[in-house]
Structure formats: C-alpha cells, structure tokens
Amino acid sequence: MAVRRTLPTCAYGGQFIRAIRRPGSTVFPTQRQLGGLIVPTVGAVMEDCGRGGVLGGRYELGRVLGRGTFGKVHLARDIRNGRSVAVKVVDKEAVVRAGMMEQVKREISAMKMVRHPNVVELHEVMATRSRIYLAMELVRGGELFGRIARSGRLSETSARRYFRQLVAAVDFCHQRGVYHRDLKLENLLLDEHGDLKVADFGLSALVDHVPRDGLLRTTCGTPAYVAPEVLGKKGYDGAKADVWSCGVILFVLLAGFLPFRDSNMMAMYKKICRGDFQYPPWISSGARRVIAKLLDPNPNTRITVAKLMETSWFNKYKVQKPQSTTEENGKQGQMEEEPEKLNAFHLISFSEGFDLSPLFGGEGIREDGMRFTTREPASSVVSKLEGVAANTAGKYRVTKSGAAGVRLEGESRGRRGKLAIATQIFAIAPSVLVVEVRRDDGDTLEYQKFCADELRPALKDIIWSSSNCQTVGAC
C-alpha cells in the first residue's frame, strides 16, 4: 500500500476526535480520513474547570492532543497522584443534535466493563450541565499503525507478540459480552513498554443491546477490516466479526499491506465476500494456516478465539509465566489512605440532574450501582463490606481493602466472567460519608441478586436513613 501524509487519527476519540498533525508524521490513509469528517470543534473546556484549569479539583488540563466533531482530548495531570492522563471532553448538546448519544453511552458502558492490561483503561467519568468528561489512561507509544508505516512490516516474532496481546484483549471483552466491531491498526496503541492497548469502543456492541436472535444488524467498522457477513446486512455475530478483523490485522502485521484493497469500493467488497487475497512469499506456512482460518468468509466455519489460542503457531515460543494471585496484587497495592474528600464537582455529578447513571444502565435507573450516606466511620463501613465476603462461605473474596474503598470478587465464573463489586468511600463532612457501590465486572443480573441477598441486608444498619440519604439503582 502506498504511504502518504495525512491527518493522523487520535484513537482516544474514535470518530469523535481527530489528532493534531505534527511535522513529519506519516501514516496510511484510512477510509475514515478519506471521508472528510473534520468539522468545527466545541468551545473552550475551561469554563467547567474552575480556577487554574483544574477539572473538578482533580485534573489539571494541559495541551490539546486531538479535536473533532464532538469534542477534544486534553493531556492532563491527576493532581492527587501526579499521574498523566488523557481527558476526553464530549459536548452533550452536539452529541444529542447528531443523534449520537446512544453511541457515546455504549462507548462508556463498554470501557467501564472492560479492565484488562491490553485495553485502554477508563479511569473516571464526570459530567456538568453541558459536557461529559472521560479521564482515560494515557498511552504514550503511539499507534501500531505508525510503526507499520515506518517499517513496512514486522518480523513474525514481533507480529505474533502483538497478535497474542490483541487476542487476549478480544477474548476478555467477548467473555464480558462486549464486541468491538471496529478493530483495526489505527485503534491499536503502544504504551511506553511497547505493549499493545486496544482503544476506541465507539462502535462496540454489548450483549444487553443484542437482539434475541443474537445477531447484530448495523454495518459498522472500517471497510477494509469488515467481515463479509457485516456487509451482507442480514445479521451477524459480533464475536465472529471481530475474529475476521483480527485476521486482517495479523495479515497487515506480517505483510505490510491490507489483504483486501482496490480503488473501486464495490470490487473490494466482492474480494472480501469471496475471501480473495494473495499471500506475499515471506509469510510462513504456519502463519498462512492461521490467517486462512481467520479470514474464512463463512462465519459458521471461521475459527473461534478459543480454538485460535490452541493453534501451534499462536503458542510458538510462548513462555508460561507464574501469575500472582489477585489477593497478592491487592495487598501489594494497599497503603495507608483516607476516604476521598467529596468536592463540589462530585456533588454536581451525584445530583439527579447530572447523574451519569443512565449511561451505565436502564432508562433513568442505574442498574450497576447504588449510593448511600452513613454516619459510621470508614473503618466500620470497610469491616461491614469485608464481612459480606466472609459470610459467603468462600464464594467471594476481598481483593482490595482500605479506608477509600473495598473490592469484592467472586471465586467462580458467571455468565460474563467473575462478578466483582467495587465500593468508594467519600468524606462529605467529618461525621458523614458517602458510599458508592458499583458493579466492576460480571453480569448485571447476578450483581443485582448479590445485592438483594447479601449486600443490602449486611449494610442496612449503617445506612443513614434521612432526607440526605439518596439510594440509587436497583441494588
């Protein structure tokens, strides 16, 4: 494929954000870039940040990393710990006018459900009357896209390493009912250690949004990476469509160019539907066998992620590393801490008018969390929460505990992985705490049952039942 200069995509924003061009930047042209989607951006974000450009008393905003249709992305510093983050600012009114609010909700919901080393992490979501703020992991290594543009192709060893990380992330997402639907090189970032991070969940589909027959029907994704059944518009399985996109990515990593390419879009679609592509001579026979199984035009016979991870090519030179237990990781991360002070921005975000709960659950009802006030000290709240795990006869364990919150995790896998419940404790006054409980992982229905059977009865006697106590959600 010919290399040309164009405006690089900023994966933090998906189709919402477009990166500022830097001198000397060279990347492949993309279908999205060729569509001419650059439009005037929203107004200054600083009006919501208070003095000194500090957002909600937490994030000190710096230069703009990218901008686009519905907002911009700022480099920012978390003043609580000095960590650099990327803050995506989304203009609510612009999103509503464009009819894109459901897509923004899906992006946030997907990112909240997926916490994995190879997925860009969403740290926090905040809101004001006019904007939504997404504080995300800052990935400094650039796009894998750019590395291919510079080198032309990767060695098979390097390609296999990145591909394993991609598949690990995809498998994790699928187990939690999240299908990306727009996997491509432009959405694969590299951190400072050279590890892969999957970004841009703007087109993701959640199991909760999939029709009863299990088939999706919206044509999403970038044409060169899209599976044949997606083009057919007859309904498709999101997991199988993601597998096809992984096959295209693996081909590009090894070949240095796309498997399906044609100046005529309809001709390219026909090649995709037939699985019509040619291997360059340097791709090994083992890699060819894997690619052929991934780029099978028939979704019913296409290889699954589970079978892919069993292939000899995928596991070649793989070193099994002993993994530390979740409990050990939690203990290593523990430190002396206090409940976080609740500031005015928290109160605005918690208030009914600006509550982001509809983004994470049903219509106006927050299905994955609750909030209550208590006059008990943080140590008592923590003790109660730890007691919940102790009373489940080993079904749940404490993976993190401290004055700022507790995390519980189930021992067995449910419908969407292990159920995990995270709590945060905020100090609203010397003798008053706000406790926020949310589903951190796993199935919503299993979470609600756990709340009804275990959590709510255990916490009942510490909830301050006054007009100041607001309980949110179905828990």
pLDDT digits (tens, 9 = 90+) for 339-360: 655 544 444 444 443 333 333 3
Q: Is the predicted pLDDT of residue 77 greater than 50, yes or no?
A: yes
Other C-beta atoms lying within 10 Å of the C-beta of residue 197 = 23
Query: Buried (b) or exposed (e) across 198-208, using 16+ Cβ within 10 A?
Result: bbbbbbbbbbe
Q: Is the predicted pLDDT of residue 2 greater than 60, yes or no?
A: no
Rg from Cα positions in the chain: 23
Q: Which of 182, 242, 296, 441 is catalytic?
A: 182
Q: Comparing C-alpha atoms, which of 308, 333, 320 is closest to residue 250?
A: 308
Given a contact cutoff of 8 angstroms between Cβ atoms, the answer to whether 201 and 107 are in contact is: yes
Other C-beta atoms lying within 10 Å of the C-beta of residue 44 = 10
d(CA 415, CA 430) in angstroms, rounded, equals 41
**78 noted as active-site residue:** no
Given a contact cutoff of 8 angstroms between Cβ atoms, the answer to whether 179 and 238 are in contact is: yes
For Cα atoms 13, 15, 20, give the angle at the middle one, nearest 5 degrees: 60
pLDDT of amino acid 444: 78
pLDDT of amino acid 240: 92
What is the signed CA dihedral for 439, 409, 335, 82, rounded to 10 degrees?
-40
d(CA 181, CA 451) in angstroms, rounded, equals 32
Q: Is the predicted pLDDT of residue 318 greater than 60, yes or no?
A: yes
d(CA 186, CA 10) in angstroms, rounded, equals 8
Q: Which of 22-26, 301-305, 416-420 has the lowest mean pLDDT?
A: 22-26
> What's the rounded mean pLDDT across residues 295-300?
94
Largest CA distance in the chain: 73
H helices, E strands: number in the chain: 16, 17
Q: What is the DSSP letter of 454?
A: I
Q: What is the DSSP letter of 319?
A: P
330 or 269, higher pLDDT = 269
What is the signed CA dihedral for 450, 454, 457, 461, rounded to 10 degrees?
-110
Q: Is the predicted pLDDT of residue 166 greater than 90, yes or no?
A: yes
Distances (CA, A) of 6 to 70, 239, 368: 21, 32, 42
Q: Is the predicted pLDDT of residue 248 greater than 50, yes or no?
A: yes
* CB contact set of 82 (below 8 Å; sequence gap of 6+): none
Q: Is the predicted pLDDT of residue 287 greater than 90, yes or no?
A: yes
> What's the rounded mean pLDDT across residues 168-182?
84
**Spacing of C-alpha 7 from chain mean position:** 24
Q: Which residues are annotated as a binding site?
A: 88
366 or 410, higher pLDDT = 410
Q: What is the mean pLDDT of the chain?
A: 72
Given a contact cutoff of 8 angstroms between Cβ atoms, the answer to whether 253 and 154 are in contact is: yes
| Strand, helix or coil for residue 96 | helix
Q: Comparing C-alpha atoms, which of 125, 120, 160 is closest to residue 141?
A: 120
Domains of the chain: 14-137 (3.30.200.20), 144-315 (1.10.510.10), 326-462 (3.30.310.80)
Query: Among the ranges 73-77, 284-288, 406-410, which has the highest mean pLDDT value?
Result: 284-288
**Spacing of C-alpha 23 from chain mean position:** 30
Given a contact cutoff of 8 angstroms between Cβ atoms, the answer to whether 262 and 274 are in contact is: no
Q: Which residues are annotated as a binding site for ATP?
A: 88
For Cα atoms 94, 98, 103, give the angle at the middle one, nearest 5 degrees: 95
Given a contact cutoff of 8 angstroms between Cβ atoms, the answer to whether 313 and 303 are in contact is: no
Given a contact cutoff of 8 angstroms between Cβ atoms, the answer to whether 88 and 17 are in contact is: yes
Q: Tell me the residue ranges of DSSP E strands in 415-452.
A: 417-429, 432-441
> What's the rounded mean pLDDT across residues 159-185?
89
Q: Which of 152-156, 245-249, 414-418 has the lowest mean pLDDT?
A: 414-418
